[in-house]
């Protein structure tokens, strides 16, 4: 069967990327696209790259317009999905690319986001390993609500979870620094996101533990390790539209050897279709996963520093958002997990 799909927030970068992937998915048909300020426009005028969807027109983001579909993807600012979703039928699969339902702990929500808390949903990072050895994908089968992870969170979680679950690294002093492109900030009209400001420059933001992705990172890594997690997280904005390169480091566990470390990651990702450990001595480039639903992980043990360094590359809009959304929806609906998802990047 073909599932009918609505995409809310279709004029943004996340919504646009969901549409790009859905356009090539054999089991989904996009019938409704909604927006706020852009309602009334043709989709092709907002996203001139989505040629195959030029028949679609943006309508208002209302429960009425979103109702009556098999699947609804939400690409809305945080705080906007809770109330809206309550008005959608419980039999509809709702996949939220925003932050509203990622956090389990209401106190974390209050600390980092604020406003009404609508509760957590099954978390859309299928490859996430847990300390009991299970994967997050098991928790997605048959569900009707999915919270898509934050893009930075995915990069760090995929980078370090295998070692934490295997107890070859310690979780109590993790440091992660990410090079990220500005599309992660969406189309917000801010001076600091203008091309003239970004090109030729790198800058850090959310420094010192105040970035909203911190509690979500901790939540995932605690699930992997089964123990307390501490993380120093710094995102660095760099001049490329897409991509995240996460350098995540954790202390080598006492007694763990370099071989133990590599084995932990190899075992974790040996059968994963979308997450690949690179051979020893090789490290990934974000340019190699542009447009692909793939995360690449490079791994090194720094014996002198007593740290393991995992470098993860992914496309923030694909494996970091839209691809994860569709991969999780595939699982929820019982489709093949890889259906309709690209594994080859567009390079150079």
Residues noted as catalytic: 151
Contacts of 322 by beta carbon, 8 Å cutoff, 6+ apart? 14, 17, 18, 20, 21, 97
Report 3-32 residues binding a copy of itself (CB under 8 A): 13, 16, 20, 23-24
Between residues 158 and 294, which has the closer beta carbon with respect to a copy of itself? 294
Distances (CA, A) of 180 to 44, 191, 245: 27, 18, 7
Residue 306 in contact with a copy of itself, rule: CB under 8 A: yes
Question: With contact defined as beta carbons under 8 Å apart, do 200 and 255 qualify?
Answer: no
Q: Which among 289, 181, 283 is positioned nearest to 238, based on CA atoms?
A: 181
Residue 304 in contact with a copy of itself, rule: CB under 8 A: yes
Question: With contact defined as beta carbons under 8 Å apart, do 65 and 88 qualify?
Answer: no
Residue 92 in contact with a copy of itself, rule: CB under 8 A: no
Report 156-215 residues binding a copy of itself (CB under 8 A): 173, 175, 177, 179, 181-183, 187, 189-191, 193-205, 207-209, 214
Burial class (CB in 10 A: 0-12, 13-18, 19+), 170: buried
Between residues 82 and 323, which has the closer beta carbon with respect to a copy of itself? 323
CA count, 13 A, side-chain hemisphere, 328 = 36
Write down the least CB distance from residue 142 to a copy of itself, Å.
Answer: 29
Write down the least CB distance from residue 79 to a copy of itself, Å.
Answer: 22
Segment contacting a copy of itself by CB under 8 A, of 58-66, 70-78, 152-160, 308-316: 308-316
Between residues 14 and 143, which has the closer beta carbon with respect to a copy of itself? 14
Write down the least CB distance from residue 62 to a copy of itself, Å.
Answer: 24
Report 39-58 residues binding a copy of itself (CB under 8 A): 47-53
Write down the least CB distance from residue 160 to a copy of itself, Å.
Answer: 13
Concatenated DSSP letters of 303-336: TTTTEEEEEEEE-TTIIIIIHHHHHHHHHHHTS-
Strands 244-251 and 275-277: unpaired
Distance (Å, whole) CA 262 – CA 284: 16
Write down the least CB distance from residue 129 to a copy of itself, Å.
Answer: 21
Write down the least CB distance from residue 285 to a copy of itself, Å.
Answer: 4
Residue 294 in contact with a copy of itself, rule: CB under 8 A: yes
What are residue 173's phi and psi, to 5 degrees?
-155, 60
Buried-state track 73-104, b at ≥16 Cβ within 10 A, e below 16: bbbbebbbbbebbeebeeebbbbbbbbbbbbb
Give the residue, chosen from 102, 130, 307, 319, that forms a contact with a copy of itself under the rule CB under 8 A. 307
Segment contacting a copy of itself by CB under 8 A, of 78-86, 118-126, 136-144, 245-253: 245-253
Question: With contact defined as beta carbons under 8 Å apart, do 331 and 29 qualify?
Answer: no
Residue 313 in contact with a copy of itself, rule: CB under 8 A: yes
Residue 261 in contact with a copy of itself, rule: CB under 8 A: no
């Amino acid at each position: 069967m073909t599932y009918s799909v609505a995409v809310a927030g279709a004029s943004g970068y996340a919504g646009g990327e969901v549409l790009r992937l859905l356009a090539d998915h054999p089991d989904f048909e996009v019938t409704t696209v909604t927006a706020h300020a852009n309602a009334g426009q043709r989709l092709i005028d907002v996203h001139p790259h989505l040629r195959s969807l030029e028949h679609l027109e943006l309508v208002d983001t209302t429960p009425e317009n979103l109702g009556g579909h098999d699947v609804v993807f939400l690409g809305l600012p945080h705080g906007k999905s809770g109330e809206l979703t309550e008005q959608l039928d419980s039999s509809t699969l709702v996949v939220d690319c925003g932050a509203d339902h990622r956090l389990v702990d209401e106190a974390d929500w209050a600390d980092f986001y604020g406003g009404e808390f609508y509760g957590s949903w099954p978390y859309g990072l299928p490859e996430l390993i847990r300390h009991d050895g299970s994967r997050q994908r098991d928790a997605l089968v048959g569900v009707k609500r999915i919270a898509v992870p934050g893009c930075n969170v995915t990069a760090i979680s995929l980078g370090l979870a295998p070692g934490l679950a295997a107890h070859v690294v310690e979780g109590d002093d993790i440091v992660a620094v990410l090079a990220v492109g500005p599309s992660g900030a969406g189309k917000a009209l801010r001076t600091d996101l203008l091309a003239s400001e970004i090109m030729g420059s790198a800058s850090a933001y959310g420094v010192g533990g105040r970035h909203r992705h911190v509690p979500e990172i901790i939540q995932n890594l605690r699930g992997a390790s089964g123990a307390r997690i501490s993380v120093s997280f710094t995102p660095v904005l760099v001049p490329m539209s897409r991509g995240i390169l996460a350098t995540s480091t954790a202390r080598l566990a006492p007694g763990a050897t370099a071989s133990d470390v590599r084995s932990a990651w190899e075992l974790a990702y040996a059968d994963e279709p979308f997450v690949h450990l690179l051979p020893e001595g090789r490290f990934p480039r974000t340019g190699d996963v542009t447009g692909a639903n793939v995360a690449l992980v490079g791994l090194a043990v720094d014996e002198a520093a007593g740290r393991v360094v995992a470098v993860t590359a992914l496309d923030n809009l694909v494996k970091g958002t839209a691809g994860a959304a569709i991969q999780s929806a595939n699982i929820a609906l019982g489709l093949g997990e890889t259906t309709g998802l690209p594994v080859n990047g567009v390079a150079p």
